[in-house]
Amino acid sequence: MDDVRWLSADEQEIWRAYLSASVSLAAHVDRQMRQHAGMPMAYYEILVRLSEAPHRRLRMSELADASLSSRSRLSHAVAALERNGWVERRPADGDRRGWVCSLTDEGFAALAAAAPGHVTTVREHLFDVLTPEQLRTLREIGLAISAGLKPACDAARAEDAQDTQDAEDTQDPCDE
């Protein structure tokens, strides 16, 4: 951990420009969603993924992957959405461990009501401020980052899987 490849001045500028933009844009979009639709952006994402699924229903684990949330987060979120009447949970047939989450008509209506404001915000603060060339590159950048992140996420899951087994052997020596 001693031979760190520190960031050059240029790289720091890039990282900070990216970080600032992504944090600010996320905050702005989330804020708009809360004010206008009464739910955080993460919940909107869940409704969107459900609305696009066949029969507007998905297994919890599939919904978690699609909406980029952890299982725990999804559990809490779906519980909250269920209290709103926007979503329903029923046991999956064929696997008595699983649950299927489905979007109700009220949930779809809430989604439809929230969509215009959301899209307008995204267009205004992303598509209207970038050139077509920049947008093409942004798509590539997004795909590259996601691809580079996938191994790390898989590794994290793999760790969880065997965490119950090994406890006392080789921990990585992070000085902290």
Q: Name the residues that contact a copy of itself, by CB under 8 A.
A: 1, 4-7, 11, 13-28, 31, 36-38, 68, 110, 113-117, 119-120, 122-130, 133-135, 137-149, 152-153, 156, 174-176
Helix (H) or strand (E) holding 152: helix 132-162
CB of 89 to a copy of itself, least distance (A): 24
Beta bridge partners of 101: 58, 89
Q: Which residues contact 53 (CB under 8 A, 6 or more apart)?
A: 62, 66
Only segment of 1-9, 48-56, 89-97, 104-112 that touches DNA (CB under 7 A): 89-97
Of residues 2 and 93, the one with the C-beta less far from DNA: 93
Which of a copy of itself, DNA, none interacts with 165 (beta carbon under 5 to 8 A by kind)? DNA
Binding residues with DNA: total (CB under 7 A): 38
Find how far residue 62's CA is from the centre of its chain.
13
Stretch that binds DNA, among 13-21, 64-72, 105-113, 131-139 (CB under 7 A): 64-72
Full DSSP string of 64-105: HHHTT--HHHHHHHHHHHHHTTSEEEEEPSS-TT-EEEEE-H
Does residue 165 touch DNA according to CB under 7 A? yes
Query: What single-letter DSSP state applies at residue 58?
Result: E
44, amino acid identity = Y
Partners of 89 in the β-ladder: 101
In the complex, the residues that contact DNA under the rule CB under 7 A are 27, 30-31, 34-35, 39-40, 42-43, 59-62, 64, 69-80, 89, 92, 95-100, 161-162, 164-165
